[in-house]
Amino acid sequence: SPWATPEWKYVQPLSRGLVPEPEPCIETRLSISNRNLSTSHTSSGDYTDFYSSKDHATNVGIMFRGKENALMPNWLRLPVGYHGRASSLVVSGTPIRRPCGQMRPDQTKPPIFGPSKQLDLELEMAFFVGGKSQLGEPIPINKAHEHIFGMVLMNDWSARDIQAWEYVPLGPFLGKNFGTTISPWVVPMEALLPFAESNPLQDPQPLPYLQHEDGYTFNINLFVSLKGTHPNTHKKLANIWYISLHIIMTLAKRKFTLFPQNPGSFGSMLELSWRGSKSIDIGGGKTRTFLKDGDEITITGYCEGDGYRVGFGLCKGIILPALND
Amino acid sequence: MSFIRVNAASDFSYQNLPYGVFSTSDNPRHRIGVAIGDQILDLSVIRSLFIGPVMSKHCDVFDQPTLNAFMSLGYEAWSEARRTLQNLLSDNEGILRDNVNLRSRAFVSQSEAIMHLPADVGDYTDFYSSKDHATNVGIMFRGKENALMPNWLRLPVGYHGRASSLVVSGTPIRRPCGQMRPDQTRDIQAWEYVPLGPFLGKNFGTTISPWVVPMEALLPFAESNPLQDPQPLPYLQHEDGYTFNINLFVSLKGQNMTEAVNICSSNFKYMYWTMKQQLTHHTSNGCNVRPGDLLASGTISGPNPGSFGSMLELSWRGSKSIDIGGGKTRTFLKDGDEITITGYCEGDGYRVGFGLCKGIILPALND
């Protein structure tokens, strides 16, 4: 394949020679024309979303099914995932319109159609696939690295009320596919490998096709901040937390564990507000359970080197009001 | 009628005129064609004959290797192009009929053509819109009381499928390996699908027939919509009949069989949700669609066992044997089995059909 790892390795030393010495955390104003990028289509690819944070899956499970049935039996055996919508992937800076949809807030009454009242963010990271595989032929785990090109930050915006009503039994659909934001700079895996650590213990041990020894868990600090429309409403929703990104492969899957287990590290408002039961303080006397119109969410992240950073730029989006009927 | 002779049982009548993408051994370039009788009219050869007000400015779309550009032009363009084709193929029009040189360049025999996927599919969505199928599956897995989930009758339930593994009819399908709990039926799907839906149980391969039948060819076969109870919310309501009487057949030919055996006779009119409702629901939240996107109906099953559209239902979760003749039976597919789906609308002395949607099962790869 013309895109296999050797070519990627070749490009990097050349570019290092052409740029000045790296500077710590360069503040850049990205003047990408967001509208053009968000509407241009160069290829028809696929987008898959995994569910690989044990804390997130457990929190959501507790909220929706109770403590005993929090994690489904398959969760610890395989990286659960589902297909997402490629057409609604947008670059950082693209405004996100609050979706309308069908929902059933009161189970004793018929469902209704209207603007989502439970608009949420989801802090994620994502990797791009390189090279190609043949239909019918798996990528063995010892070759997976040849197909993992690089990473971006992602916000998997979610409408929890639309999602809750539609998702049984075929999974999330319109509660997700109204928009998904990614950061614009794809950080190559070679830039991240210096920050790889050993993988977390997986218990039970996965089946052989999912086992690999080499550490592919990445120490990337991640931050989510919310800026409301009122003055002084600009606060980090989550403090610095330690992110372990452990990649396990068959056809390039991704696993992602949040440490430590404290509320300051939860990656969605569903969890931070515990399904709307707690208020999240955003400063200036204001609180949130879910997102309001005009809220701007910014996700940032970086690996901390010795006197330098490897970061991702911004993954940002502002919420526009729902369209009137 | 056309100057190209079409027999009454052909899928590709003058009333059909479906679009596809093909190549030939002497010209491997993918190009757009229209099927008629046993011929293909190569639109790249006759594109300058599209002289209507819309298509005259855009006839270069027929020079493309996929239908996406033509699809992107919209409703008026499709309609005008169809009228042009009907005129060019008419036995009353001499432009093509009488031009021996042009005819020899413009027509290719279907038997010499290799068909390809007709469009670059950006996103593929699969719905679940047959009430009989959803009820059968629900009864099998949850019992009669909980057969249909509460949302099923309120919105057209669907999920995203995988675009990369869409293949054209004739592509062999490799039996997938996967993680499963051996005591479950439809093994890979049953173990993985809670709570986020089907994934690897589906995305190892999906086959489509190569000829895209335009809606204008199907509209004469539209009937009134089934009663929907409870009535859907206003955004999903439409009065006009968009329920199509399309006869559908599934046949199976095992490795040592000389002929295929019919295992299902069904009809597209059995669907509960219409395509208009599916598309409207899909974009109701602002989700964008692009030309070439594919939206599938979900398994089509009718009210009688002979019309069930999956072996899961035909064998009732493996509890009954499906008779395929010669003393042979099936519950699920075996290596070497070839499945062929066909379908057509029955007109008065003609058919509007789809060609073949075929695939043979290859054995799983050894580790």
pLDDT score of A323: 93
What does residue A208 show for φ and ψ, rounded to 5 degrees?
-50, -35
Average pLDDT, chain B: 96
Q: Select the residue of A41, A82, A137 nearest B197 (Cβ to Cβ).
A: A82
Q: For residues B190 and A69, what is the distance between their CA atoms, to the nearest angstrom?
A: 18
Chain B residues 128-187 within an 8 A CB cutoff of chain A: 128, 149-151, 154-155, 157-165, 167, 173-174, 177, 179
Instruction: Kindly indicate the confidence band of residue B141, based on its pLDDT and cuts at 50, 70 and 90.
Output: confident
Whether the predicted pLDDT of A242 surpasses 90? no
Asked if residue A122 belongs to a known ligand binding site, the reply is yes
- Residue A197 DSSP symbol: E
What is the layout of strands, in order, in the sheet containing B27-36?
Answer: B107-109, B39-42, B27-36, B19-24, B113-116
Task: List the single range of A26-30, B8-12, B126-130, B264-268 with lowest mean pLDDT.
Answer: A26-30
**C-alpha to C-alpha distance for B287 and A171, rounded to whole angstroms:** 16
Question: What phi and psi values does residue B202 have, to the nearest 5 degrees?
Answer: -125, -35
Is A28's pLDDT higher than 50?
no
How high is the pLDDT of residue B164?
96
Pinpoint the alpha helices (H) of chain A. Answer: 5-18, 34-39, 54-65, 160-166, 189-192, 269-272
ipTM: 0.94
Report the C-alpha gap between A209 and A250 in whole angstroms.
Answer: 7
Inter-chain touch B160–A166, beta carbons under 8 Å = no
Q: Which helix (H) or strand (E) holds A90?
A: strand A89-91
Give the CA distances from residue B87 to residues B39, B46, B82, in Å, rounded to whole numbers and listed in that order.
17, 13, 9
Cis? peptide before A2, omega within 30° of 0 = no
> Bridge-partner residues for B353, per DSSP?
B344
CA-based nearest distance A28→chain B, Å: 31
Q: What is the rounded CA–CA span in Å between residue B284 and residue B156?
A: 12
Shortest Cα distance, chain B CAs vs residue A294, angstroms: 18
- C-alpha–C-alpha distance, residues A236 and A228, integer Å: 12
Three-class secondary structure of residue B313 per DSSP? helix
> Rounded to an integer, what distance in angstroms lies between the CA atom of residue B58 and that of residue B52?
10
- Mean pLDDT on A285-300: 93
Separation CA B121–CA B119 (nearest Å): 6
pLDDT in tens, B195-252: 999 999 999 999 999 999 999 999 999 999 999 999 999 999 999 999 999 999 999 9
Catalytic residue check, A56: yes
Q: Which residue has the higher pLDDT, B265 or A22?
A: B265
Q: Any binding-site annotation on A156?
A: yes
**pLDDT > 80? residue A9:** no
State yes or no: pLDDT of A241 exceeds 80: no
Q: How confident is the model at residue A254 (pLDDT cuts 50, 70, 90)?
A: very low
Angle at B10 between CA B4 and CA B15, to 5 degrees: 65
Residues 286-345 of B with CB under 8 A from A: 286-290, 292-293
Cβ pair B354, B18 in contact under 8 A: yes
Percent of chain B with pLDDT over 90: 94
pTM, entire model? 0.90
Determine whether the annotation assigns residue A163 to a binding site.
Answer: yes
Amino acid at B324: I
Q: How many CB atoms lie within 10 A of CB B54?
A: 16
Residue A125: beta bridge partners?
Answer: A153
Say what the pLDDT of residue A4 is: 37
The answer to whether B318 and B333 have CB atoms below 8 angstroms apart is no
Of the candidates A56, A83, A147, A246, the residue annotated as catalytic is A56
B16, B8, B34: which is closest to B210 by C-alpha? B34
Which of A27-36, A194-203, A278-287 is predicted with the least confidence, judged by mean pLDDT? A27-36
pLDDT tens sequence across A59-117: 988 887 788 888 999 999 999 999 999 999 999 999 999 999 999 999 999 999 999 99
**Most confident segment among A6-15, B138-147, B169-178:** B169-178
Q: How far apart are CA B269 and CA B279, in angstroms?
A: 18
Number of H helices, E strands in chain A: 6, 22
Q: A124 among the known binding-site residues?
A: yes
Site of tokens 């916000």:
A155
Looking at the complex, does the CB of residue A88 fall below 8 Å from at least one CB of chain B? Answer: yes
Instruction: Tell me the CATH number for domain A32-320.
Output: 3.90.850.10
Which of the four pLDDT bands, split at 50, 70 and 90, describes residue A17?
Answer: very low
Do the Cβ atoms of B64 and B43 come closer than 8 Å?
Answer: no
In this predicted model, what pLDDT tens digit does every residue of A156-169 receive, in sequence order?
Answer: 999 999 999 999 99
The pLDDT tens digits for A172-216 are: 999 999 999 999 999 999 999 999 999 999 999 999 999 999 999
Neighbouring C-beta atoms of residue B271, cutoff 10 Å: 27
pLDDT at A284: 80
How far apart (Å, rounded) are the C-alpha atoms in residues A258 and A56? 8
- Write the pLDDT tens digit of every residue in B71-99: 999 999 999 999 999 999 999 999 999 99
Say which residues have a Cβ less than 8 Å from residue A325's Cβ, sequence separation at least 6: A100
What was the pLDDT predicted at A95? 98
